Structure 1
Amino acid sequence: MNEISRDRLESQREEREQAETEKEQVYSEFDDEMKTLQEQIDSLTQENEALRAENAGLHSKFGEMDKRPVLVMGDEEDLYPGEIKELVLSVLADKLERRVAKRSRRSEVFSNLIKKNDYQGVYRKKKAEIQRILKNYTIMDAKTRKALQDFGFRIEEDGKHYRLTYFGDDRYKTTVAKTPSDARAGKNIAHYIEQTMM
């Protein structure tokens, strides 16, 4: 009987030790999982606080603004960075120079908008550049091809012509003869590009 009791006690002791080991293992895994979750909570809390601060800053900024923007962006996208803004400002600058009376309300408003929007005169530079590239055009040599590509044109052969597509947008394309017979061909193409693509 003593032997049987000892065996039972030994068996129960082993079962208790095994249960204890399993319990510690579960606690350890649970503890690791809790630490990971706590780290995630801390990280998300910090991110939430940063977003809350940013949101508050934006709200205060908009609260200070009692004016709406002069223009709302349409559906057209820039063909290159800043293109639409420069285009609008160039139209205002041209209008201001040619058709607006000095010391008029229009003159004051247009001048102020041009100044406040950091107008760079990109289109004037682009017009001068396309005129320079095509001024004496007689053949599509490597120098002319590179200059046109740098300007934003995709160039493809099309029979006796080259097809030029502005920034890959098929709405804005033209052709140039491979060997033009008209001495003014380059100037005419440059003028067409200025009128339709810039």
Structure 2
Amino acid sequence: MGKPASEKPRTIQEAMTAYEKRIEELELEKAMLEEENETLRARVENFASAGASTGDAVLARGKERDLYPGEIREVVLDVLRRVGEDCRHGSRRAEILRDIVENNAFLDLPRRRAQELKTVLKGYSGMTSAVRKKLHDLGIDADAKVSKHIKVSYYGDPRYAATLASSGSDSRCGGKNLASDLIQRFF
């Protein structure tokens, strides 16, 4: 059984372990606050630029908010690019979509994030602290454990959740399948 939090460490090793744990907690909290700060900064910039816009807006902003800076813009442009590629070459529809994508700043973040997730989960055989950190860097919280599984969510939003095995049984293709599922749900 573990010691109560108020009990003082008896050995140097116990003290070091306690300090290391506290440092990890503070680093995680710092990262979450920095991410929240970036999201809020992007919202302020979006509000400021929306008020200063003089051109014809193609779309009105809905009620959904960015989970990371520029997320909605990136997703919309990614979808427009993909649909434009599927349109008949030389059609009016294809030209309109190509023109919109070409004339808007587009970092292709959904594709980049998907590629990063594939790399993280390649050969997935279980949740390690390194995998957990890399998932967190992508906005995927992997903290809740349910039985022999880990519940993950995208930026803590319960609408975007999935379950991972604590230890993968098929490291050859399990990680690929897992990445594919999470990419479809989150990106």
TM-score class normalised by the smaller sequence: 0.5 to 0.7
Name the counterpart of 2:175. Answer: 186
Superposition deviation, residue 161 in structure 1: 0.8
Q: Deviation digits for residues 5-46 of structure 1, max 9, x if unmatched?
A: xxxxxxxxxxxxxxxxxxxxxxxxxxxxxxxxxxxxxxxxxx
CA distance in 1, matches of 2:136, 2:186: 15
Name the counterpart of 1:131. Answer: 118
Determine what percentage of the aligned residue pairs are the same residue.
Answer: 36
Q: Which amino acid aligns with 2:77?
A: L
Higher-Rg member (1/2): 1
CA distance in 2, matches of 1:160, 1:185: 16
Give secondary structure in 2 for the equivalent of 1:85: helix
Name the counterpart of 2:96. Answer: 109
Name the counterpart of 1:85. Answer: 73
Q: Which amino acid aligns with 2:151?
A: R
> How many residue pairs get matched?
135
Name the counterpart of 1:120. Answer: 107
CA distance in 2, matches of 1:150, 1:131: 14
TM-score, normalization by structure 2: 0.67
Moved over 3 A (4+): none
Superposition deviation, residue 131 in structure 1: 0.8
Q: Give the aligned CA root-mean-square deviation in angstroms.
A: 1.8
CA distance in 1, matches of 2:130, 2:141: 15
Superposition deviation, residue 76 in structure 1: 0.7
Superposition deviation, residue 185 in structure 1: 2.1
TM-score, normalization by structure 1: 0.64
Q: Which amino acid aligns with 1:165?
A: S
Written as runs of structure 1 = structure 2, the 5 A alignment for 1:119-198 is 119-155=106-142, 156-183=144-171, 184-198=173-187
